[in-house]
Amino acid sequence: MNISNQIEETAIVVPMNDGIVYPKFLRTIAKLLTILFHPLFIPIYVFLWMHLRFPTEFAGMDDHTFNIRAFGVFWTTAFFPAFVVFILWRLKMIKSLDMNASTERIIPYVATMFFYWWMWYLSRNFTDQASALKFFYFGIFLATIPGLIFNNFFKISMHGMGIGGLIGAVTLTCYMYGIYLGADLIILFLLSGLVLSSRLILKAHNNFELYMGVFTGLISQFIAYYIFS
């Protein structure tokens, strides 16, 4: 019996609500939200948000340096992990880019773990950007560890982990700098609800997988904040 079969046999199966048939336009919107708020895009979104809301934390960075840094964040946390998935797909090691099976997500998890760790490792030496980014990068790295472990038993939602990490990062950053950004938080929670609902509409996950994803992403940010505070 190979590893794939062992994982499939020990997986926790929670039935999907297949009885509901959603309209095509609703599924199209859900697919768009799923792409726009893919977990690989969360790091660059947080980086840009911090620059927008806390510009004084980036005072030592000119426009050219900022563009290079932003490109580096996107390249490291989004492009390279996505490229690994693309290569796996081209080599027919995974059936689709959606990675519907838990077994297809093992290598991407490991690759993403490395790139997130590398982003955090580099950020330790940056003194010209928001210090909150250090705990955020470490938090998304931490989230990949339980994500990989839980993946052996059920298909934990990566989108849920991304949303949980985003909520944790924004909330803790506001707390860290002693500022309340009510509008940002309201928009964030509304978008979070839409994205998570989109995963249900597309029948990519069930409630349990989404809740566990959000919890994992959220608690990882709190642990990282506690370590670096």
**Is 104 among the domain residues?**
yes
For the chain (229 residues), the mean pLDDT of every run of 10, in chain order, is 44 51 87 94 96 92 92 96 93 85 89 95 90 95 95 92 96 94 94 94 91 97 92
For residue 50, the model assigns a pLDDT of 95
**Is 7 among the domain residues?**
no
Residue 159, CA distances (Å) to 31, 33, 153 in order: 12, 11, 17
**Is 6 among the domain residues?**
no
For residue 191, the model assigns a pLDDT of 95
For residue 221, the model assigns a pLDDT of 97
Range of the domain at 166: 17-228
**Is 5 among the domain residues?**
no
**Is 135 among the domain residues?**
yes
**Is 168 among the domain residues?**
yes
Between CA 18 and CA 15 the distance in angstroms is: 8
For residue 163, the model assigns a pLDDT of 96
**37 three-state secondary structure:** coil
**Is 11 among the domain residues?**
no
Please tell me the total count of domains within the chain: 1
Helix/strand/coil percent split, the chain, to 5: 75, 0, 25
For residue 37, the model assigns a pLDDT of 94
For residue 12, the model assigns a pLDDT of 43
Closest CA to 165 of 179, 187, 144: 144
